[in-house]
Amino acid sequence: MAYSSTISIAHGCLAIIFSTLEGLRSAFSEAKEDDESLFSAKRTLPLHSGRANIVTFACNDTRLVLGLESGSVAIYDTAALLSSGTDEIQPLTTRQIQSSPLRQIISNPGSEPELVAVVGDGNVVLLNMQLEPQGGWAASDLMTQPISGEELRIIRMRVVF
Question: How far apart are alpha carbons 31 and 26 in whole angstroms?
Answer: 8
160 or 51, which is more confident: 51
Question: How far apart are alpha carbons 77 and 60 in whole angstroms?
Answer: 12
Domain ranges of the chain: 3-152
Q: Is the pTM of this model over 0.85?
A: no
25 or 152, which is more confident: 25
Q: In this structure, are residues 108 and 58 in contact, taking their beta carbons and an 8 Å threshold?
A: yes
Q: In this structure, are residues 53 and 19 in contact, taking their beta carbons and an 8 Å threshold?
A: no
141 or 145, which is more confident: 141
Whether residue 71 is predicted with pLDDT greater than 80 in this model: the reply is yes
**Residue type for 51, please?**
R
Fold of 3-152: Lipocalin (2.40.128)
- Indicate the pairing of strand 133-138 with strand 63-68: unpaired
User: How far out from the chain centre does Cα 153 lie?
Assistant: 23
Q: What is the mean pLDDT of residues 74-84?
A: 90
- pLDDT value of residue 32: 77
